[in-house]
Amino acid sequence: MGSSYERRVGMKKINLQEKLSLFDEHWTPKIIGELNGQYVKLAKIKGEFIWHKHDQEDELFMILKGSLVMELPGEKVVLNEGDIFIVPKGVDHRPIAEQETHLLLFEPVATAHTGDVRTDRTVDDQEWI
């Protein structure tokens, strides 16, 4: 069991590699924590996602493994391991990963998975792991 401090305040250590080993699906973020109205999520991505935006929320992407291209209107930003990129609210974007890429995401709890677009990839009830 955790330390007395962890037991007292309900805190626990989260190992990212352990959590990433619990799922294989792409484009289906998993929630691993919550702080200050934000979910902390892990995702595995591969291929192209859809163009979308979040009208009310900024979105933070941190590349844990692999790389991705973040397409923005008129621009492509290449992100590699250790890079962080913040997409401001209201900005259309589309992540693309040639190889499987692992992400850590920070998003407000109310953030819809596919923003202003509903597709077969939209996940309404994101899973806690």
Question: How is residue 112 written in tokens?
Answer: 């819809």
Query: Per-residue pLDDT for 27 more than 80?
Result: yes
DSSP string, 20-37: HTT---SS--EEEEEETT
CATH T-level topology, domain 11-108: Jelly Rolls (2.60.120)
Cα 97 to Cα 82: distance, rounded to the nearest angstrom: 15
- Please give the sequence-ordered ranges of beta strands (E in DSSP) within 14-109, or none if there are none: 30-35, 38-48, 59-65, 67-72, 75-80, 84-87, 94-108
**What percent of the chain has a predicted confidence (pLDDT) above 70?**
81
- What integer pLDDT is reported at residue 109 of this predicted model? 84
pTM: 0.82
Res 119 pLDDT > 70: no
Q: How many residues does the chain have?
A: 129
Other Cβ atoms less than 10 A from the Cβ of 46: the count is: 15
Q: What is the pLDDT of residues 52-111, one digit of tens each?
A: 998 999 999 999 999 999 999 999 999 999 999 999 999 999 999 999 999 999 988 876
